[in-house]
Structure 1
Amino acid sequence: MKQNKKVYLQDLGNKDYKETWDFQENIFAKVVEQKKQKRENSNIETSNYFLFVEHPHVYTLGKSGDVSNLLLNEKQLQDKGATFYKINRGGDITYHGPGQIVGYPILDLENFFTDIHKYLRLLEETIILTLAEYGLKGTRSEGETGVWLDVGTPFARKVCAMGVRASRWVTMHGFALNVNADLGYFDNIIPCGIRGKGVTSLHVELGKEIDVEEVKQKILKHFTNLFEATLLLG
């Protein structure tokens, strides 16, 4: 089967969570439709996308999540200028907000490999290699998707959350890397439903404001290498 490893990159800037979710769903539906057409005409290529976005303060709860992991009521959410959505990715609750790089790869994995675990591990590796460029040793925590620092110590803390949805080998949702994020917003949830583990950011770890655009370029470099992809501006 002919594989298309071209990935269209779009940076959406600062965009409302629901608007971005709808945008993702539209792209996802388009790629699934292309796959149906490809069954009848093998010359049709399915498209791949990579979206960067920064969201206003928002909490999202995955399919398997427990709403009690949100520690705020509706009024408190409003007071904090935050919104809340139950969504169709895997995982529990997480926070998105300013100073965080959110990446949504919408890929037809049949263009790359048909292995969802490999997909998640390569997304983690993309972040691990990016962190290494800043002198930080990111690692995986067994049974907990995402990227952590100091796993296996009392000081384990998550720097990048991940949660994806895949259907017919098409992916959506993705990762959220804390760069200059206000970590105080994590105090209002039990992140990913995991008690007793901290959250951190590049800003906190390195003790200085980090250039977000520079981090994005490093992420893209490692993503394209690991997925053997070619980036195009979408």
Structure 2
Amino acid sequence: MEFLVEDLALIPYGEAWAYQKEVHRQVVEGKRPPTLLLLEHPRVITLGRKATGENLLFPESWYREQGFALYWVERGGDVTYHGPGQLVGYPIFPVGREVRRFLRQIEEAIVRVAAAYGIAAYPTPGYAGVWVGEEKLCAIGVAVKEGVSFHGFALNVNTDLNDFTVIVPCGLRGKGVTSLEKLLLRKVPMEEAKGQVVAAFAQVFGLEPRLGRRDAAQV
């Protein structure tokens, strides 16, 4: 079996969210194979199903005044940040009721990406994500509807980590965030990171990747 990989480049969160829903519908209806969307977002704060707003350090209006978009969404987890230099992946895969296993597979794929750069990363039992020491390298939060996943992961590649200081990331106080750039002391080409992610997903899920192209008319 194969999975489709679509590179959406830098795309506003709302536009990508709408496209996810269209792709999700097509996967549910069997009109397309499992699909992995890879992209970056302009600066945006998103709050998942567990969020109450207490982990926002400022009023919602402040974020918008500072140039952050802000969305309450249906993924799991609390509050997180997305921005340029962060590789966001939305795996829209049939998972049935095996949601926990699916989360562990995403974590394993990201651990393999880190290992490709000589970084020893690990998941933490109890909540989704991938860590290096006491700092989170990759946040994970998914939703599942009609047996098919959407939303996904956010891997800090060359992310401006200062933008995380305006929230309590994932609601975890006393924990930090990190990036491939910070750990390697160099910029990592985004196309290279995307290639590592695709290779890791192919290995973990046992699927053959095929490059696809977004049809703008579908959004």
**What TM-score, normalized to structure 1?**
0.87
Alpha-carbon distance between aligned partners in 1 of 2:182 and 2:136, rounded to the nearest angstrom: 12
The alpha-carbon deviation at position 46 of structure 1 amounts to 5.6
> In the alignment, which residue of structure 1 is the partner of 2:104?
121
Gaps of 5+ in 2: 213-219
Q: Equivalent residue of 1:69, what SS? A: coil
The question of whether the paired residues in 2 share the 8 Å contact of 1:130 and 1:222 is answered with: yes
Gaps of 5+ in 1: 35-44, 151-155
Q: Report how many residues are paired.
A: 212
The question of whether the paired residues in 1 share the 8 Å contact of 2:82 and 2:154 is answered with: yes
> In the alignment, which residue of structure 2 is the partner of 1:42?
none
Q: Is residue 2:15 matched to residue 1:32?
A: no
Q: Deviations over 1:171-230 (max 9, x none)?
A: 000000001000011101111111000011111111111111111111111110111111
Q: Equivalent residue of 1:104, what SS? A: strand
Q: Is residue 2:15 matched to residue 1:19?
A: yes
Decide which of 129, 153, 157 is 1:146's aligned counterpart.
129
Alpha-carbon distance between aligned partners in 2 of 1:198 and 1:93, rounded to the nearest angstrom: 14
> In the alignment, which residue of structure 1 is the partner of 2:46?
60
Aligned-partner residue type, residue 198 of structure 1: G
Aligned-partner residue type, residue 50 of structure 2: S
The question of whether the paired residues in 1 share the 8 Å contact of 2:44 and 2:82 is answered with: yes
Bigger drift between 96-105 and 224-233 goes to 224-233
Q: Is residue 2:42 matched to residue 1:80?
A: no
Alpha-carbon distance between aligned partners in 1 of 2:204 and 2:101, rounded to the nearest angstrom: 11
Q: Deviations over 1:68-96 (max 9, x none)?
A: 21112244313431110000111101000
**What TM-score, normalized to structure 2?**
0.92
Q: Is residue 2:32 matched to residue 1:49?
A: no
Alpha-carbon distance between aligned partners in 2 of 1:142 and 1:26, rounded to the nearest angstrom: 32
4+ residue runs of structure 1 moved beyond 6 angstroms?
none
> In the alignment, which residue of structure 2 is the partner of 1:206?
184
Aligned-partner residue type, residue 71 of structure 1: L
> In the alignment, which residue of structure 1 is the partner of 2:114?
131
Aligned residues: percent identity? 42
